[in-house]
Amino acid sequence: MTMDDIDHKLLNALRENGRATYAELARTVGLSGPAVHDRVGKLEASGVISGYHAEVDPVALGLGVTSLIGVIQSDSSEHDDIAAALNAVPEVESCWFLAGEESFMLLVRVADVAALEQAIGRINRIRGVARTRTTVVLSTRWEGRAQAAGGPA
């Protein structure tokens, strides 16, 4: 799908407020409500917009410790098998497959350091995981900041 500046503005407005009405979006981008409705529908149909969700504060859920865990895979293992096993670890919020020494980077959220230790143990016991490297996040300055390419900052 070819996107223009208005599409980029719409995407950025929806990232700011996924519950915005078509009328609110129309005022933001300078189009009519029906025109915005059509554009958003095309963005959804083409897969540019893949869904809508509620942003939840992990601390409010009792998940006060965030860490990034790099997974180094053993030479004889299959990354698809490891990914499937990582998917079964409930503390893993996000998982990225990487180029480099680490095969995966995990975003893990847990209640406390003891729970982090348990999660790391479960990850290290996955067949094909040679070792892990953990970084504990001290504070989050911002998250989910990506803007639509070519759109306004």
Q: Per-residue DSSP letters for 82-150?
A: HHHHHHT-TTEEEEEE-SSS-SEEEEEEESSHHHHHHHHHHHHTSTTEEEEEEEEES--S--S----TT
Distance (Å, rounded) from C-alpha 29 to C-alpha 55? Answer: 24
pLDDT at 143: 85
With a cut of 90, say whether residue 153 has pLDDT above it: no
Listed residue (134, 133, 130, 132) closest to 77, CA to CA: 130
Q: pTM here?
A: 0.81
Amino acid at 44: E
In the chain, the domains with their CATH numbers are 5-45 (1.10.10.10), 59-137 (3.30.70.920)
Amino acid at 6: I
Q: pLDDT tens digit string along 30-70?
A: 999 999 999 999 999 999 999 998 889 999 999 999 999 99
